[in-house]
Amino acid sequence: MQINYAISFQQKIPDFAKKKELMKDIAEKLYNDIRRNLRESRTPEGGPIAALRPSTVKKKIEAGYSHPNTPLMASKILYNAIKYKATASYGAVWIIGRGKPPRDKLALDHEKIGFNWKTKTKRAFFGMSSKTRIWIRFRIQRWFKQKINNPVLYKTSIWRS
């Protein structure tokens, strides 16, 4: 005697697998914050970046730079070297290492040791503020709530003969 049966059921399950939009939002937020820090000459927490010396500003004006008074923005090479990427598993912001000296190493010098070996003036711009950390935390919480409140309907069948 042979027994045939089929079971079909459907279930709503939150879909936590599709995180790319969340990662993109977070990476984009960091990317925009870092670029704004450079444009507005400020640190990640909002304080001012050390101003340029008058002699440096004078040299930049003579050289014809478009932003002679703004530290780290004279030719916008460093500004344009900031990139971001988001996948389903991570979001990242980085400075590409092009140019001479490489822009990523130049940024690190400004951040950690100060670019000018005489004055050791540090100009930190690359980082995450406490406001951005809070924004990210709430964005992740909102994403989880959306996934829980809008579950995906899965239909499953089991058939055996």
What is Dmax (Cα atoms) for the chain? 98
Tell whether 25 is covered by a domain: yes
Tell whether 127 is covered by a domain: yes
How far is it, in rounded angstroms, from Cα 60 to Cα 146?
Answer: 50
pLDDT for 32 equals 93
Mean pLDDT on 7-25? 76
Tell whether 12 is covered by a domain: yes
pLDDT for 67 equals 80
Tell whether 104 is covered by a domain: yes
pLDDT tens-digit profile of 96-137?
Answer: 777 777 777 777 777 776 666 566 677 777 888 889 999 999
6, 159 contact by CB (below 8 A): yes
pTM of the entire structure?
Answer: 0.73
How far is it, in rounded angstroms, from Cα 15 to Cα 46?
Answer: 37
The boundaries of the domain holding residue 97 are 5-41+52-160
Q: Give first-to-last CA distance, the chain, whole Å.
A: 11
Tell whether 155 is covered by a domain: yes
Please tell me which residue, 10 or 74, carries the higher pLDDT value: 74
pLDDT tens-digit profile of 51-81?
Answer: 888 888 898 888 888 888 888 777 777 888 8
Q: Is the dihedral of CA 105, 110, 112, 117 positive or negative?
A: positive
User: What average pLDDT does the chain have?
Assistant: 80
Tell whether 125 is covered by a domain: yes
Closest to 41 (Cα-Cα) out of 77, 79, 70: 70
86: its two tokens: 């988001």
Please tell me the total count of domains within the chain.
Answer: 1
pLDDT for 148 equals 84
Tell whether 75 is covered by a domain: yes
Tell whether 46 is covered by a domain: no
Amino acid letter, 2: Q
